């Protein structure tokens, strides 16, 4: 029980540091980008005023004006009147941006304007992307037992053979995921985002949870969006849980392929089983001997070269 | 030697089908999106003409005009005179888009305009993303021996202990990757893309190879780019090789963590060793027994429940 508590404590710690890392990123991005954005926004307002004050608009001046408008727009600064009030780099939006960086979704709305912002993005993602992968992996490991091992065992006990049991389980899991992480959120988005259709919602969910993140649909980008910050936080939670579930689905598929001998057929790396052994195993173990080595030690003589190497570590 | 040839044949087949899949995607995207884009482009040209023919520009008409300009720009159709000639959905650009979809980089320039294009993107990525992962995994497996196992063995033979050998090897690999896949391409991009600085190049390489793909910097997007199609194909090859190398680096890091006992400490899934055994092993094996089972069969009694299940497959 002690080790279970410890393992959950470590996981909670991971998630806590993940949130802290996002908040830290949000603060830095906001402080770097907000002044640059404010200046660009101010410049654009002046430019628009000057354009309107012209006695006559000719093709050349329009071209020049549009060029500047489109460049500013690329950096997320719109010249439209109804969007001139809101910043892309307030705390919630910066946190949303930081989240899309570390999850590799990367919508690209907004993008850093300054060189300092770009350099910080690189450093931030360099640490953040592997850390997010670690947090997601640790989270998926915690839910593998209740969502994969237990249901498959249950199906086997109810009379199904192992191979059909894994297929039935995978299909059931897929249906639940499609319902809860694609159809339901798409319905919500099509209501909350006025200009989105249901297909747009599905498209957004799919493009986001595959981490493609094209950025043609970004939630909370509409001017005058109510409770924007809260909405952005909700989308961040959705993205995290969604990526976790996609990873879970991928591992379940990989395991199913293992059971059906497909990974062996293609000689691809097999899915690890250690996490399935028991949900109650600690993430941090006080015993430095890997469980695989322990299992094998009983049945094989000790290797004279006991220090692990690339060649020997998994062969015990 | 026969099996080696077979394994390379299968890998070549994978890469061949990958290219065919990209070409197929390019053809479909181009045929769906090009007419929609042409219509939007034509509409925008007419709109611009009408705007210029107005006797006097007022704030309201400018607002309406800019709204339409920015919406069209979101879909990759620019009203600027120097970019009105080129399409985002010619064959090379469509292939580039298909490539950013299946690699999950997803710059988002361009994005599908029509509902048919969005629906096809979902289906295309649904098959393409796992297939690309498979091709990348198979490619990385083929280079693991010459780039990871052989150099580490060499370092060990030259007197280094296994743990320091893995660290030295990882650092050397990291330096080579940074030089060949970040610094050198960044230098090339900063020359070819007139408006990019060297930092922009580094930022583009990093954001792309982490599959974040913000899309604020997209190669070959400049109007009047020479040899655009060839350049786009070169970037696609760079992206593929770069992603392969990033995956290789990640696996090497994972293996190093294994050797140092870090994955055991955090009880994370360990990196597979099977691919490191010998580069000469076939991808397709005629013998259906997994190598792990073969190893263990000699030292452990046969399990009475011989059919593999989630609980038993890796425990032999």
List, in order, residues 6 or more apart from A62 with CB less than 8 Å away: B48, B51, B52
Secondary structure letter of residue A158 according to DSSP: T
Could you please report the per-residue DSSP string of B177-241?
A: HHIIIIIHHHHHHHHHSTT--HHHHHHHHHHHHTT----SS-TT-STT-TTHHHHHHHHHHHHHH
> Which of B60, B67, B69, B108 to mutate: most A Cβ within 10 Å?
B108
Distance linking the first and last C-alpha atoms of chain B? 29
List, in order, residues 6 or more apart from B23 with CB less than 8 Å away: B95
Residue B259: the pLDDT is 86
Sign (positive or negative) of CA dihedral B20, B24, B27, B33: negative
The number of helix segments (H) and strand segments (E) in chain B equals 12, 0
- Cβ of B283 within 8 Å of Cβ of A272? The answer is no
User: Which of helix, strand or coil describes residue B161?
Assistant: coil
Residue B277: the pLDDT is 38
Q: Distance between CA atoms of A308 and A255, rounded to whole angstroms?
A: 27
User: Which of helix, strand or coil describes residue A197?
Assistant: coil
Residue B172: the pLDDT is 95
User: Which of helix, strand or coil describes residue A214?
Assistant: coil
CB atoms within 10 A of CB A158: 9
* The pLDDT of residue B302 is above 50: no
Question: Which among A81, A118, A281 is the nearest to B267, CB-wise?
Answer: A281
CB atoms within 10 A of CB B54: 13
Distance linking the first and last C-alpha atoms of chain A? 30
Question: Residue A113 in contact with residue A142, Cβ under 8 Å?
Answer: no
Residue A260: the pLDDT is 84
Residue A283: the pLDDT is 34
Chain A from 76 to 135: CB within 8 A of any B CB: 78-81, 100-101, 104-108, 111-112, 115, 118-119, 121-122, 125-126, 129, 134
CB atoms within 10 A of CB A187: 13
Residues of B in contact with A152 (CB under 8 A): 309-310
- Token pair in block for residue B25: 């995607």
CA-nearest of A244, A223, A241 to A233 is A241
Q: Which of the two residues, B269 and B144, has the higher pLDDT score? A: B144
Q: Distance between CA atoms of B131 and B18, rounded to whole angstroms?
A: 8
Q: Which residue of B has its CA nearest to A58?
A: B52
For B289-298, the CB contacts below 8 A with 24+ separation are B290/A261, B290/A264, B290/A270, B292/A270, B292/B316, B295/A315, B296/A299
Q: Which residue of B has its CA nearest to A272?
A: B269
Q: Distance between CA atoms of B51 and B24, rounded to whole angstroms?
A: 40
Q: Distance between CA atoms of B252 and B246, rounded to whole angstroms?
A: 10
Secondary structure letter of residue B83 according to DSSP: G
* Chain A touched by B19 (CB under 8 Å): no
Residues of A in contact with B310 (CB under 8 A): 148-149, 152-153, 162, 166, 255, 259, 273, 276
Sign (positive or negative) of CA dihedral A263, A265, A269, A272: positive
Secondary structure letter of residue B15 according to DSSP: H
How far off is chain A from B33, nearest CA to CA, in Å? 15
Q: Distance between CA atoms of A86 and A299, rounded to whole angstroms?
A: 67
Residue A6: the pLDDT is 75
Q: Distance between CA atoms of B176 and B167, rounded to whole angstroms?
A: 14
Q: Which residue of B has its CA nearest to A104?
A: B212
pLDDT (tens place) for every residue of chain A, 316 residues total? 566 777 788 889 999 999 999 999 999 999 999 999 999 989 988 988 888 887 677 788 888 888 888 888 888 888 887 765 678 899 999 999 999 999 999 998 889 999 999 999 999 999 999 999 999 999 998 899 999 999 999 999 999 998 899 999 999 999 999 999 999 999 999 999 999 999 999 999 999 999 999 999 999 988 788 899 999 999 999 999 999 999 999 999 988 888 888 776 666 666 554 333 333 333 333 333 333 333 333 333 333 333 333 333 233 2
Residue A63: the pLDDT is 85
Average pLDDT over residues B273-291: 37
Q: Which residue of A has its CA nearest to B139?
A: A268
User: Whole-prediction pTM value?
Assistant: 0.84
Place of tokens 């109650």: A280
The continuous run of DSSP H or E covering A139 comes out as: helix A115-144
Could you please report the per-residue DSSP string of B163-174?
A: HHHHHHHHHHHH
Average pLDDT, chain B: 82
Residue B314: the pLDDT is 33
Which runs of E-coded beta strand occur in chain B? none
Cα dist. A102→A26, A240, B181, B214, B238 in Å?
12, 11, 21, 12, 23
Question: Residue A78 in contact with residue A84, Cβ under 8 Å?
Answer: yes
User: Is the ipTM of this structure higher than 0.90?
Assistant: no
Confidence band, pLDDT 50/70/90 cuts, at residue B35: very high
């Amino acid at each position: 029980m002690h080790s279970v508590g410890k393992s959950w404590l470590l996981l909670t710690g991971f998630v806590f540091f993940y949130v802290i890392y996002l908040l830290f990123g949000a603060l830095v991005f906001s402080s770097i980008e907000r002044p640059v954005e404010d200046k660009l926004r101010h410049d654009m307002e002046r430019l628009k005023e000057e354009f309107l004050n012209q006695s006559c608009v000719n093709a050349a001046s329009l071209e020049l004006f549009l060029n500047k408008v489109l460049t500013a727009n690329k950096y997320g600064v719109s010249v439209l009147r109804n969007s001139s009030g809101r910043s892309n780099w307030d705390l919630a939006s910066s946190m949303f941006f930081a989240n899309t960086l570390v999850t590799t979704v990367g919508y690209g709305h907004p993008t850093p304007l300054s060189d300092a912002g770009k350099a910080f993005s690189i450093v931030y993602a360099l640490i953040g992307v592997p850390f997010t992968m670690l947090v997601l992996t640790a989270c998926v490991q915690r839910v593998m037992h209740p969502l994969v091992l237990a249901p498959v065992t249950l199906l086997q006990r109810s009379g199904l053979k192992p191979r059909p049991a894994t297929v039935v389980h995978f299909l059931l899991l897929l249906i639940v995921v499609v319902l809860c992480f694609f159809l339901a959120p798409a319905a919500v988005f099509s209501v909350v985002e006025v200009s989105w259709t249901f297909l747009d919602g599905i498209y957004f969910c799919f493009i986001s949870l595959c981490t493609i993140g094209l950025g043609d649909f970004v939630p909370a980008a509409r001017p005058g969006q109510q409770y924007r910050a809260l909405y952005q936080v909700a989308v961040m939670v959705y993205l995290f849980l969604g990526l976790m579930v996609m990873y879970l689905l991928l591992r379940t598929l990989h395991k199913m392929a293992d059971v059906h001998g497909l990974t062996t057929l293609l000689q691809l790396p097999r899915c690890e089983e250690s996490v399935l052994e028991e949900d109650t195993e600690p993430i941090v173990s006080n015993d430095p001997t890997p469980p695989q080595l322990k299992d094998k030690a009983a049945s094989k003589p000790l290797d004279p070269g006991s220090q692990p190497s690339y060649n020997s570590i998994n062969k015990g």
